[in-house]
Amino acid sequence: MKRRLLILTEIIAPYRIPVFNTLAQREEIDLHVIFLAESDPRLRDWLVYKDEIRFSYHVLPSWRREFAGHNLLLNRGLKKGLQRAAPDAILCGGYNYLASWQAMRWARQRRVPFILWVESTERDIRSRKRVIEFLKRGFFKRCSAFVVPGKSSMQYVMNYGVIEEDIFTAPNAVDTELFAQRAAAVRQEAGRHRQALELPSRFYLFVGRLVREKGVFDLLEAYGKLSPELRTLVSLVLVGEGIAREEVIRRAGPIAPGQVRCAGFVQRDQLASYYALAESFVFPSHSDTWGLVVNEAMACGLPVITSDAAGCAADLVQDHWNGRVVGRGNVIQLASAMEELGRDSALRTQMGDHSRERILRYSPAACAAGIAQAALAAGVRGHE
């Protein structure tokens, strides 16, 4: 008998669509998704790929404002949506919205298992005020089970007193096949694509928001520390937008020799071109719950240099095997890793092959399987 699973999550993120599509195809799951909003234009100007959606869903009417440095999102119609869906289990993507607390209350009143999807890690430097921590602990205590993407988030949840048998791993995933296939196609006509995008012949690539917490200033400083000979040969390309863009451009100006290019925000369908033409991917984040751009880069066969603060580092990047893991904010280590990969083409090829090998385990199907396991196990416990 199918178990009716309702997922409550914030926006229609492009990387979640293939996961939810795969989950909806599983024989044991009857899936419905409630989105709190279509998108969040404050952070990312993502296209909403509604034509790719193959699962039941609806979007709640919403009102979003910035209040005292916090993102306030209020919704109408959640209770009716829950009643209409009549779920056997609810998977909630977070605890920082009023709708999350409303859904939990609704579930507890009806003895419906309530599962929390947690991606936070101990290295997450977002606010840990006492009031927030108090509310978070109370929220955790009321959950039936937890879904996490990997090792770092599992340890984070266990630090709140959750036992391991109540935690299920659904590895964070992107559409690996889509990125791999598009990257391969781009490489077959590399010259044409390089010219169209005005990209240098060799470059390190960063993809993400241009904000301090992503480590972009560390990256610029590390690039400036590379040997002049290497900077003459290898450029740095940053894909993304953010409040630090003008400061990035200003700091990049004096770096000579060398070239730093800010390519702006790029939609999913064109991202594979940048990954395909890059030599290495660099992700020096100071705080990141995961870092799905690392999944994308690995699917495209790139070696990865990441900080140890990225949630994905413990699962995806094995130091000296498919990339390098450096200390958060350690510019010397970052520059050394960039110098090493920039000078050794054989090492880049070997590490890139290893990235392709490892990312196969982080597919939409693997993520969907972990979610399904959590829903079925929590459902059985909830009906005992």
Continuous segment of H or E residues that includes residue 46: none
124 and 242 fall within a common domain = no
Our CA dihedral for 57, 271, 295, 11, rounded to 10 degrees, sits at -20
Assessment of whether the complete model's pTM goes beyond 0.75: yes
pLDDT at 66: 74
105 and 221 fall within a common domain = no
31 and 87 fall within a common domain = yes
Cβ atoms within 10 Å, residue 228: 10
pLDDT at 124: 74
pLDDT at 131: 80
Give the count of domains, the chain.
2
The one-letter amino acid code at 226 reads L
On whether the CB atoms of residues 76 and 58 are closer than 8 A, the answer is no
Cβ atoms within 10 Å, residue 48: 16
pLDDT-based confidence at residue 127 (cuts at 50, 70, 90): low
DSSP string over 310-322: BTTHHHH--BTTT
120 and 20 fall within a common domain = yes
pLDDT at 346: 98
pLDDT at 70: 67
Per DSSP, the three-state class of 147 is: strand
Per DSSP, the three-state class of 362 is: coil
25 and 140 fall within a common domain = yes
CATH code (residue 350):
3.40.50.2000
169 and 180 fall within a common domain = no
Tell me the mean pLDDT in the region 135-146.
94
Length of the chain measured in residues: 384
The residue segments making up the domain with residue 334 are 176-359
pLDDT-based confidence at residue 65 (cuts at 50, 70, 90): confident
Tell me the mean pLDDT in the region 263-274.
94
**The dihedral sign for the CA sequence 160, 163, 166, 168:** positive
The one-letter amino acid code at 271 reads L
278 and 347 fall within a common domain = yes
pLDDT-based confidence at residue 128 (cuts at 50, 70, 90): low
305 and 181 fall within a common domain = yes
313 and 374 fall within a common domain = no
235 and 370 fall within a common domain = no
Alpha-carbon distance of 168 to 118, in angstroms, equals 10
Q: Is the peptide bond before 228 cis (omega within 30 degrees of 0)?
A: no
User: Average pLDDT over the chain, rounded to whole?
Assistant: 94
Tell me the mean pLDDT in the region 69-80.
88
Tell me the mean pLDDT in the region 171-197.
97
On whether the CB atoms of residues 171 and 315 are closer than 8 A, the answer is yes
On whether the CB atoms of residues 326 and 332 are closer than 8 A, the answer is no
- 345-359 helix and 331-343 helix, angle to the nearest 10 degrees: 100
50 and 195 fall within a common domain = no
For residue 348, pLDDT beyond 80: yes
For residue 382, pLDDT beyond 60: no
Alpha-carbon distance of 21 to 374, in angstroms, equals 17
For residue 21, pLDDT beyond 90: yes
Q: Provide the percentage of residues in the chain whose pLDDT is more than 70.
A: 96
Cβ atoms within 10 Å, residue 369: 18
pLDDT at 242: 94
Alpha-carbon distance of 306 to 171, in angstroms, equals 18
pLDDT-based confidence at residue 384 (cuts at 50, 70, 90): very low
For residue 139, pLDDT beyond 80: yes
Tell me the mean pLDDT in the region 28-45.
88
136 and 182 fall within a common domain = no
**Among residues 361, 303, 24, which one has the least CA distance to residue 7?**
24
> pLDDT tens across 198-254, in order?
999 999 999 999 999 999 999 999 999 999 999 999 999 999 999 999 999 999 999
Instruction: List the structure tokens of 250.
Output: 């200003």
